[in-house]
Chains A and B, each alone.
Chain A
Amino acid sequence: MSSEWIPSLVHFFGMMLLVASFGIIAAPQIMASVRAYAVHSFLLAVITVLVALAGHVEHLLISAALTVVLKTVVIPRVFSKMIHRLGVRREVESYANVPFLLLISVLLLFVSFYVTSGLRGLEPVFSKEFVSIAIFTVFFGMLVMISVKKAMTQVLGLLLIENGLFLLGITMTFGMPLLVELGISFDVLVAVFIMGIFMLKIRGAFEGIDIDDLTELKG
């Protein structure tokens, strides 16, 4: 693969990552959000492979494979099983309407670009745009968590934050040591399982996983 293709591919996948993020928040149904997350993770794995090839870092290939298996296959399947078992309404309600949220995410993107352009000491090993995209993904994950009314989407937002941090790791330092990456992935998987169990409990206690109901404890 000639080196002149790499920047273009990098740009291409960066943009696809943005589009996938928009897809998560603009999706009308929860399963579509989960699929958009699977696409997002897959693109992340592809970018990891690109970084691995460009920097000749082999252990990133293992991380990429792990991402594909875990975040593109296993976790979306856990989610779809959960959706079946919970039997919740498929429609996703937000606190604000989708075009407004999309505009806010554009604003977040510009904020993250502005923030990373101001940091002078940062010399990432891979292209600088990805640091901004990674920070944007972290912000975006938080936006998803606060704007959608389902408990499941909160978990999705958390996973997005984790995706953004993974992207940050591989573009700033060619990834953390493999042991740490494995541990973090394991943690994420266990967290998803546990949150799934808790969603079942929420459904049992509150009839539905609408976050609006979780407001009893105050003061």
Chain B
Amino acid sequence: MTIGYLLAIPVVSAFCCLASGTKAFVRFFFVAGAVLLAAAGEYFVFTRAGQGNLFAFGGNLFMDPLGALFAALIVALGLLSAVYAGGYLFEEGPSAIPLRKLRRYGFFFHLFLFTMLLTVFANNLGIMWISIEGTTLASAFLVNIDDKKSSVEAAWKYLILCSVGIALALFGIILVYYSAALGVSGGGNYLLNWTFLAGRAKELNPQVMRLAFVFILVGYGTKAGLAPFHSWLPDAHSQAPSPVSALLSGVLLSCATLGILRFHILTKAATESPFSGHLLIFFGVLSVAVAVPFILDQKDYKRLFAYSSVEHMGLVAAGLGFGGAWGLYGALLHVVNHAFGKSLLFFCSGHLLHQFGTKEIGKIRGILKVNPLLGGAFFAGIMAITGMPPFNIFVSKFFILCGGFAGGHFFACGILLFLLVFIFAGFLRHACNMVFGIPEKTVRAERNRVMDGVLLAGVFFLVLLGVWVPGPLHRLILGAVSVAGGTTG
């Protein structure tokens, strides 16, 4: 099992889905591909994690603990999402989805997983850029898979805004390449390789790196959903189907954050100043602040979750900016926890749409009475996402704030705590309105074992990670923290 084989799995699954003749085949390739990817990916990551960096394709791709952590996350969430989607996509009956659309869905889904894996495994900064652009292109179709008017608009906004942002990131990469070509001796073909640059970071021109980091932050920050570049996020995440939204919110934003992190490491080493850290903290706090009014006054529950993603990505950015052992560990753990928490919420939203037929918060009442499992999972998810113990996000938020206080950023942490209170209040209000109370109309009561199973698995993970970080995961995150902290390998 090498990086190449791992990357080949989703590509093969994608084309198999596209070439399938019947719905059964599409379903098989769709789900089996995700299962195989998850199994192979987790095996690969956890057996090779402690053994140093692993290179492939002439050093253009590699896996270090940081990349391994994100890869593990991608394949796990890909599995959950595929299993959940497989539960309802392939139903026959009046609302059956045509074969053409299913083939497209399978194709772009696996292609999307492929591009995300390529991003986290990329060593060559140019390849990383190409694959991030690739994620935009692959997921645009997924956002618009239902061909409705609003989703076309959302997909167009997503395409244009993210492409502009990524073009700005290319500007930053050109500047990094320039400073590398200027200052670093030797290299030749390796000038764009992250491992090479990280080792020689002291030789990079600090002023150019500063400028480059600003552009990268703006560019990849657009993709990561940092304010004020987040305006595509609520539209795209709310218009996409729920399993896709789970992937978009949980994993794609994290991949973009990985891109920012890689450059943050370079810039911190090159400039030896807290410049990039301060910028990250600023945009992080700004994201949380921008998310607050939209969470408090929100009518559509999927947009609510999307704005919550903006907030959480802001927290991750702030954690990365705070730095230090606490901040970095908290931020990386938060990436994992947020992925699971947000995807649980989006899976619940899929159930909600299916049962109540509406996207509005105001029209849904009494979920607990209608479907106790859904109500319980939904309420647990909301409690988790706002950072209540004993759920996992509490732990990572706590670590991030510890990192902030340990680093002396009292003002920023104070603002964050203040804002988090408002977010908690807003979410609680929406959750109580939706979960408790008397349901208004009788709703369809079909139950799907598989989809319910996914919900239960999600809640289980939330609680598990809230009380205990499993050994292998902990070691992986520690390895990633050491990479992020500047000591490679």
Contact = CB atoms under 8 A, between A and B. Distances in A.
Question: Do A and B touch directly, given a CB cutoff of 8 Å in the complex?
Answer: yes
A98 B133 CA distance: 32
Given A161-B164, A216-B150, A217-B235, A180 B171 contact: no
Contacts of A180: 124, 126-127, 129-130, 192
A46 interface: no
Interface string A50-68: 0000000000000000000
A210 to B, nearest CB: 12
Interface stretch (B173-181, B364-372, B377-385): B173-181
Given A165-B174, A179-B126, A123 B182 contact: yes
A172 interface: yes
A162 interface: yes
B157 interface: yes
B191 interface: yes
Most buried by A among B137, B154, B297, B300: B137
Given A138-B171, A173-B174, A176-B126, A158 B160 contact: yes
A169 B174 contact: yes
Interface stretch (A31-39, A69-77, A101-109, A183-191): A183-191
B174 A214 contact: no
Contacts of B154: 217
Given A145-B164, A202-B156, A214-B157, A165 B177 contact: no
Contacts of B152: 198, 201-202, 205-206
B133 A187 contact: yes
B167 A165 contact: yes
Interface in B349-364: none
A122 B183 CA distance: 12
B205 A121 contact: yes
Contacts, number: 119
B164 A205 contact: no
Nearest to B155: A198
A199 to B, nearest CB: 8
B208 interface: yes
B130 A205 contact: no
Interface residues of A, number: 39
Q: Is the interface of B mostly helix, strand, loop or mixed?
A: helix
A168 B164 contact: no
A99 interface: no
A154 interface: yes
A134 to B, nearest CB: 9
A90 B149 CA distance: 24
B435 to A, nearest CB: 23
Contacts of B337: none
B178 A216 contact: no
B53 interface: no
A206 B235 CA distance: 17
A142 B163 CA distance: 12
B307 to A, nearest CB: 10
Contacts of B134: 187
A86 interface: no
Nearest to B206: A121
8 contacts: A121-B208, A138-B167, A162-B167, A168-B174, A176-B177, A184-B170, A194-B137, A194-B159
In the complex, the 4 A-B pairs of residues with the closest C-beta atoms, listed nearest first: A180-B126, A183-B130, A205-B149, A214-B153
Interface of B: 60, 124, 126-127, 129-130, 133-134, 137, 140-141, 144, 147-150, 152-157, 159-160, 163-164, 167, 170-171, 174-175, 177-178, 181-182, 189, 191-192, 205, 207-208, 211, 234-235, 238-239, 294, 297-300, 303
